[in-house]
Amino acid sequence: MTSTNDRVVPPAARRRRRPTKSGVVLSEELIVETALRLLKEHGADALTVRRLGLALGADPSALYRYFRDTDDLLLAIADELIGRTLRTWHPTGDWRADLRDLGLRVHSGSLAHPQAAVLSSYRVTGRVHEIAAVETIIGVLRGAGFPDPEAVRIYHAFVDQALAFAALDAASVALPRAARDAEAGVWRATYARLPVDSHPNIAATARHLVLDMGRSAYPTALDLLLSAAAARLTEITGGGDAKGTPQRPPGPSH
């Protein structure tokens, strides 16, 4: 329905033929892999259609046979990252521990590919891996005993918090080396030296600030969120049923 111009053929109907001039046989997977490699090796700015074509040994315009536009490609990259994270996650049935584990995995997974995370963490892909994740997480919450509207609210807060922190911390990691060092230095050089009388609270806590600001606040924020959710749950269920019956046996749904 996207006007008449659709050079993209659905992957199912694709009977891949015709190697590129340099001999490579293109595929959706190969393109996404190469894009991730480009991002990892040369930073977010290196990901352009033209450079990606060059890295693949194909004309840039060939990519448009596989992705409607660069945004479409970006979503495919994002979904691949979700898939990789989910594949290493093995829920135990304890909703709080499972969500904590998943959150930390999403976070550290993003830091492993900061450039990709920065570009894609805020997108709704609607692709297979994302759908599987949504299904599983909501299942965990409903299984824990949250009523549907509450489960959705907490799901939304949990997921967006994980993605938001992933993007935030990934952005720091993705900064040019000089800029990153400069930022770290600000806490020592500026904040830790403020006089007591003009900035009593900073001065009193300077030691803690220097220590704490050097690492991600995500674990703290995640624990606060989960702890509030747990409190809400006992409020609702009247104290019992903290574990609950899973709506679905452990393991990501396919």
Partner DNA sequence: TTAACAGGTCAACGCTGTTGTCATAAGGTG
Partner DNA sequence: CACCTTATGACAACAGCGTTGACCTGTTAA
How many other CB atoms are found less than 10 A from the CB of residue 160? 12
Distance from C-alpha of 67 to C-alpha of 119, rounded to nearest angstrom:
17
Q: Which does 148 bind (CB under 5 to 8 A by kind): DNA, a second copy, none?
A: a second copy
Q: Given candidates 199, 243, 245, 249, which one binds a second copy under the rule CB under 8 A?
A: 199
Q: How far is the C-alpha of 112 from the C-alpha of 121, rounded, in Å?
A: 13
> Which sign, positive or negative, has the C-alpha torsion 24, 27, 30, 36?
positive
Is 64 a binder of a second copy (CB under 8 A)? Answer: no
From a second copy, DNA, none, interface partner of 128 (C-beta below 5 to 8 A by class):
none
205 belongs to the binding site for a second copy (CB under 8 A): yes
Q: Are 20 and 57 in contact (CB under 8 A)?
A: yes
Name residues whose C-beta falls within 8 Å of residue 139's C-beta, 6 or more positions apart in sequence.
Answer: 246, 247, 248, 253
Describe the chain by its helix, strand, coil percentages, rounded to 5: 65, 0, 35
Residues that bind DNA (CB under 7 A): 5, 7, 9, 14-22, 25-26, 47-51, 58-62, 64-66, 69-71
Q: Is the separation of the CB atoms in 121 and 236 below 8 Å?
A: no
Site string for a second copy, 163-192 (x = CB under 8 A): xxx-xx--xx---x--x---x--xx--xx-
- What string marks each residue from 110 to 139 as x (binds a second copy by CB under 8 A) or -? -----------xxxxxx----x--xxx-xx
Q: CA 81 to CA 110: how far, in whole Å?
A: 8
Interface residue list for a second copy (CB under 8 A): 71, 121-126, 131, 134-136, 138-139, 142, 148-149, 151-154, 156-157, 159-161, 163-165, 167-168, 171-172, 176, 179, 183, 186-187, 190-191, 194, 198-202, 204-205, 208-209, 212-213, 216-218, 220-221, 223-225, 227-229, 231, 247-248, 253
